[in-house]
A = this chain, B = another copy of it.
Amino acid sequence: MQFSVGLEYSLHCLLYMVDFPAGESIGIKELALYQGVSETYLSKAFTKLRKAGIVLSVPGVNGGYALARKPEDISFWNVVEAIEGTTPLFQCSEIRQREVLLDKDNLPDTHTKCPCLIKVVMLEAEDQMRQYLKNKTLAWLHEQVKNKLPEEQRKATSDWFKNSRARK
């Protein structure tokens, strides 16, 4: 049980995109090439990001994607939810309702109206993770990286993407 690699791809892409000049878009081809990942698979992830309102898309020649919101308004959780979906990690198939002693046509209120406590605990646990991820924004991440990564490296990356259009 793991998050998809599409999530890892997405988070890295979005981080690069913070540095792009406003109003410009970058193509999936460039993002995939730069990171050495599958272009078509990455494009599926970006379709999800667009549907979640995290990026916007520009079709046509020199089109691509750009952040749809300010990095301050994009949280890790936004991305996780966009890529992984909204169904809880814990799958509750309500097996308690299958208990052999129960009259399946007339289940007791405890088994229908009251939530399964095991499920409640698991969902609350997930909520701890969710809250943490909601508090970490793309802007925050960008700031952290800026402090760690040498200026020259960041410039090289920025330039590579800037020139990617010219190279074609």
Contact = CB atoms under 8 A, between A and B. Distances in A.
Contacts of A106: none
A117 B2 contact: no
Copies in the complex: 2
A73 interface: no
A122 interface: yes
Interface residues of A, number: 57
A150 B110 contact: yes
Interface string A109-130: 0100010011001101110110
Contact of A160 (B87, B101, B150): B101
B132 A131 contact: no
Dominant secondary structure at the A interface? helix
B128 A141 contact: no
B3 A90 contact: yes
Interface string A10-32: 01100100000000000000000
Given A35-B95, A108-B150, 19 more contacts: A2-B91, A3-B91, A4-B91, A5-B93, A8-B92, A8-B95, A12-B96, A12-B118, A34-B99, A35-B98, A36-B100, A99-B157, A108-B153, A110-B150, A117-B141, A124-B132, A125-B132, A125-B133, A126-B129
